[in-house]
Amino acid sequence: MQVRFPRTVRARRRTVQAVMAAAVLALAPATWMHTAAAGKLRTTADVPAGDVAVVFGAGLWKGRPTPYLAHRLDTAAELYRTGKVKVLLVTGDNSRTEYDEPSAMRAYLAARGVPDAQVVSDYAGFDTWDSCVRAREVFGVDRAVLVTQDFHVKRAVALCERAGVASYGVGVAEPQDATWYYGTTRELFAAGKAALDAALRPDPRFLGPEESGVAEALAGGARTAPASPAARP
C-alpha cells in the first residue's frame, strides 16, 4: 500500500501539529506521575520514620510470593526491624479462595521475624488505586511509606497522594531482566489509567466497612524486638 503524504505546506503543518499533540497527550500521564512523586522517593536508610508501611502485592507462584513480591517483603521487614515503621499493611488480591496474596505475604513476614500482631491484611487490594483508597478510607492511614519495585513506585506515590495518603516511596531495585523490562513497559500504559483514576477518583471494586486493624496494631503496646527469623526456605 502506497503511503500518501500531504502535498501542501499547510497540510503538512497540520499533520506535524497533530502528531506533536498526540505525543504530548501520550506523555502527559507519565509527566504527571513524575511530578507528583518528585521529592518523595527514598531508600530504606533515609526514608523518614512513620507508623505504617504499605506493601503492594506482586503475585504468587504455587501459593508463595513471587521473587518480586519477596523482595518487597524483605524491604518491608527491614523497615520494621530498623524502627522506620511500626505496622505493615499488606495489600493484595484475594478474589478467589485458592489465591490469597495477603495471607502469603503475612506468612512470609512472620518467617522473617515480623510479629504477626504488627501485620495487617487488606484482602481487596486489587490494583494500586484500590489499595491506596482502602488504606485511607478503610484502614484510616493518612501517612505511609510505600514499598514496591522502582518502576512502580512513582505511580504508587502519585495515586496514594491523590487518595489522601501522604506518602514516601521506597523503590526496590531489580536486575534488568525480562520481568523488569515487562514491568517498566507496562508502566507506560498503566500511567494512563492512573491519570484517569486520579482525575475521576472512582470507588474501589470493593470498599467495605472501616477496619480498626492498623489502629489496634499501633495501640497494642510498646514495639517489641522481632524474633529471630526462621530458616529461609
Q: What is the Rg, in whole angstroms, of the alpha carbon atoms belonging to the chain?
A: 20
Output the pTM of the full model. 0.82
Q: What is the pLDDT of residue 104?
A: 97
Q: Which of 179, 214, 191, 200 is nearest to 128 (CA)?
A: 191
Q: What is the pLDDT of residue 229?
A: 33
Dump pLDDT digits (tens) for 95-106: 888 899 999 999
Q: What is the pLDDT of residue 233?
A: 33
Pick out the chain residues at pLDDT < 70. Answer: 1-7, 9-29, 221-233
Q: What is the pLDDT of residue 222?
A: 42
Q: What is the pLDDT of residue 28?
A: 59
Whole-number Å distance between alpha carbons of 163 and 140? 12
The position carrying cell 512502580 is: 152
- Kindly give the residue spans of alpha helices, DSSP state H, lying in the chain: 9-37, 67-81, 101-111, 128-137, 153-162, 178-200, 213-218
- Across-strand partners of 41? 169
The dihedral of CA 96, 80, 138, 184: what is its sign? negative
Dump pLDDT digits (tens) for 45-71: 999 999 999 999 999 999 999 999 999
> In terms of DSSP bridges, do strands 64-65 and 60-61 run parallel, antiparallel, or are they unpaired?
antiparallel
